[in-house]
């Protein structure tokens, strides 16, 4: 077994998705910096998800999933509907967090009613407008 010597790749961007600022503390926009710090702390705390994974009983697997012999049953399980399986959720798949009136600013009143009622999130690829630091 042998090892190849490392070579520098010319003309190839090895970190295309990383920001120019490597630390959260370097982000000028205070709202985004606080949001990112809180999300990081939540991820590293390893708390379980709020919704427990629903259990599929043995009789359900046989009579409802495999053969569908009980169409008259009232309660519809998650696998019978059109929603995706609960264990395949994305990190940004959650309802928006409500912002109380006391925490709303004059800037929030410029947006439509639906947007100003919730806290802004900064997930990659979800914001339509560019994030501008205050003062620009």
Give average pLDDT by consecutive 10-residue segment, the chain, 136 residues.
82 78 84 90 82 77 79 69 71 85 82 78 68 53
The neighbour count for residue 64, using CB atoms within 10 Å, is 19
> pTM of the predicted model, to two decimals?
0.56
User: Residue 71 sits in which domain range?
Assistant: 51-83
The two three-digit tokens of residue 58, written as one number: 């043995």
pLDDT at 48: 73
Residue 61 lies in a domain: yes
pLDDT at 28: 86
The two three-digit tokens of residue 34, written as one number: 């606080």
Residue 39 lies in a domain: no
pLDDT at 108: 76
pLDDT at 34: 92
pLDDT at 13: 82
Residue 59 lies in a domain: yes
Q: How many H helices and E strands in the chain?
A: 3, 0
Residue 98 lies in a domain: no
Residue 28 lies in a domain: no
Residue 118 lies in a domain: no
pLDDT at 52: 66
By residue count, the chain amounts to 136
Residue 55 lies in a domain: yes
pLDDT at 41: 92
Residue 121 lies in a domain: no
pLDDT at 133: 52
What's the number of domains the chain is made of? 1
């Amino acid at each position: 077994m042998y090892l190849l010597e490392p070579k520098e790749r010319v003309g190839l961007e090895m970190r295309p998705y990383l920001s120019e600022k490597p630390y959260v503390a370097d982000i000028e926009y205070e709202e985004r910096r606080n949001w990112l710090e809180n999300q990081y702390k939540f991820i590293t705390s390893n708390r379980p998800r709020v919704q427990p994974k629903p259990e599929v009983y043995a009789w359900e697997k046989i009579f409802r999933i495999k053969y569908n012999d009980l169409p008259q049953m009232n309660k519809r399980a998650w696998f019978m509907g059109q929603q995706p399986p609960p264990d395949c959720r994305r990190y940004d798949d959650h309802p928006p967090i409500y912002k109380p009136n006391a925490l709303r600013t004059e800037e929030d009143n410029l947006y439509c009613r639906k947007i100003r009622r919730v806290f802004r999130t900064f997930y990659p690829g979800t914001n339509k407008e560019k994030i501008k630091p205050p003062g620009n």
